[in-house]
Chain A
Amino acid sequence: MNKVLLGLLLGAVLGAIDGLTSWFTPAVRAQLVGIVVGSTVKGIIAGIAIGFFARKVHSLALGILFGLAVGFVLAFIVAQLQHGYYLEIILPGSIVGIIVGYATQRYGAASASVPAPTR
């Protein structure tokens, strides 16, 4: 599995789990489906970006840092759109970014193999 695909899948799964945890907040339980879908999409976008970064840069520290930055920025945008729940959205979003950053650096094939041209 290449790093971009790994980032995409991991971002989607962690994003969905992250969205599902909103069930514990009674005030937003009614919007659970919308939150899960939004969180999953956010995770996918972050995962793809982090996967591409991991393909270009081979550094665990930079990968984690980039994951943190992407997770933070995307979560911040979502929180801005929600006009609230900054801590509840930004904190988990950032940590999910870190986890995806770590996983894409540590695992996944560096790039898809391209067959050599034949003459």
Chain B
Amino acid sequence: MKFLSDKAVDRLRQAANTPDLSGTRYQLLEHVARGGMGTIYAALDETLHRRVALKILDVPVADDDFALRLNREARVLARLEHPGIVPVHDVGTLSDGRVFYTMKFVEGQRLDRHIEAVPSLPDRLRLFLRICDAVAFAHARGVLHRDLKPANVMVGAFGEVLVMDWGLAKILREQSADFAEDDPEATIVHTPKSAGTLADATQATQVTGQGTVLGTPGYMSPEQSRGDVAHVDERSDIFSLGALLRFLCAPPAAQPKPNGIWRLDKALEAVCGKATETDPRKRYASVPELSADVSRYLDGLPVSARKETIFDKTARFYRRYTIAILLIGAYLAMRILLLIFSRA
């Protein structure tokens, strides 16, 4: 009996895993990444001659209902037209029954890698505000992301910030008659048919069946961790944004730990703390509220998440007007010295 070499086995495995795009307008270029729900490839749109990102779900479509849900996900994401959200171009089914959709190919870096090159806290906070803008827009359209984390944010070559991977998105409410026939509480997530799918999941994203755990530990709200789908709303994304904010405010060496114990500025810590409260009712009620607090912090104003003492107020005033205070202080000191000098 002759055994196949490891190299031959690898080649066979690779060939077996390569999706068959015949019958579509796309030509496979290269493997890009694996997400929680599927694999992302770079592909060439042969009709429009442009590079696109092609996401193929891992599990073949088993029934029409599931195909409808996935098509619906693509349709919902397609209506999220915002500079901070990756646009979906197309949706379809491969010859092997797997559903795919294509989206804009973003050339850039994931936030967790990009942030190493951004040492300034204000710059990081401004990045965060742009993420908030995109998430707030989605919320306004009734869509929850449910898997916000640094790995799901891309920063493009020109500084554009894009929220990616809406594969776990949930539609809170319908805004268009097109979707009225669907279940408004439907979760955009496929149910894995085997344990193998879970094992394949990357970036610690856990994908299990409908109504169970979706998201990433450390960035997932307690209600999401419990699989309490009924109570997942905008405030779950706010929890994830709070964890993301804590990640962005941390010194580079501490960044791999989103729930670490490094010392943050008290006001920022209060903002993170309020956003990541265990009880959703104690969190910010909306993303604009959270981003307004971060903006206030950036402007040297008090944040709503923390009641200031007189010392905090003084310290904040000093931080805000350091140069002016030093200049006036120098002027007064000079005047006093001149007075003493002239009397002497």
Contact of A24 with B327 in the complex, beta carbons under 8 Å: no
Count of A-B contacts judged by CB separation below 8 Å: 31
Whether A102 is near chain B, meaning CB under 8 Å from some CB there, is yes
Whether B323 is near chain A, meaning CB under 8 Å from some CB there, is yes
- Max count, chain B CB within 10 A of own CB: residue among A25, A92, A95, A103: A95
Whether B334 is near chain A, meaning CB under 8 Å from some CB there, is yes
Give A76-119 interface residues, CB cut-off 8 Å to B: 87-88, 91-92, 95-96, 98-99, 102-103, 106
Q: Which residues of B contact A31 (CB under 8 A)?
A: none
Q: Which residues of B contact A106 (CB under 8 A)?
A: 323-324
Give A98 to B324 CA distance when docked, in angstroms. Answer: 10
Whether B264 is near chain A, meaning CB under 8 Å from some CB there, is no
Q: Which residues of A contact B341 (CB under 8 A)?
A: 87
Contact of A92 with B335 in the complex, beta carbons under 8 Å: yes
Contact of B331 with A24 in the complex, beta carbons under 8 Å: no
Give A101 to B64 CA distance when docked, in angstroms. Answer: 70
| Per-residue contact bits, chain B 309-344, to A (CB 8 Å; 1 contact, 0 not) | 000000000000001100110110011001101100
Shortest A52–chain B CB gap in Å is 21
Shortest B302–chain A CB gap in Å is 20
Residue of A nearest to B327 (CB): A99
Q: Which residues of B contact A24 (CB under 8 A)?
A: 339, 342
Supply 11 A–B pairs (Cβ within 8 Å), ascending by A.
A24-B342, A87-B338, A87-B341, A92-B335, A92-B338, A95-B330, A95-B331, A95-B334, A99-B327, A99-B331, A102-B327
- Max count, chain A CB within 10 A of own CB: residue among B331, B338, B342: B331
Q: Which residues of B contact A92 (CB under 8 A)?
A: 331, 334-335, 338
Q: 10 nearest interchain CB pairs?
A: A95-B331, A99-B327, A24-B339, A91-B334, A25-B342, A88-B338, A102-B323, A21-B335, A102-B327, A98-B327
Q: Which residues of B contact A98 (CB under 8 A)?
A: 327
Given the known inter-chain contacts A21-B335, A95-B331, A96-B331, please indicate yes or no for A88 contacting B324, CB distance below 8 A.
no
Q: Which residues of A contact B334 (CB under 8 A)?
A: 91-92, 95
Give A21 to B342 CA distance when docked, in angstroms. Answer: 12
Q: Which residues of A contact B324 (CB under 8 A)?
A: 99, 102-103, 106
Shortest B79–chain A CB gap in Å is 34
Beyond the given pairs A92-B335, A102-B327, 16 more chain A to chain B contacts, judged by CB atoms under 8 angstroms and listed by A's residue number, are: A21-B335, A24-B339, A25-B342, A60-B323, A87-B338, A87-B341, A91-B338, A92-B331, A92-B338, A95-B327, A95-B330, A96-B331, A98-B327, A103-B324, A106-B323, A106-B324
Contact of B331 with A88 in the complex, beta carbons under 8 Å: no
Give A113 to B341 CA distance when docked, in angstroms. Answer: 48
Give A25 to B328 CA distance when docked, in angstroms. Answer: 21
Q: Which residues of A contact B342 (CB under 8 A)?
A: 24-25, 88
Shortest A25–chain B CB gap in Å is 6
Residue of A nearest to B341 (CB): A87
Give A102 to B330 CA distance when docked, in angstroms. Answer: 14
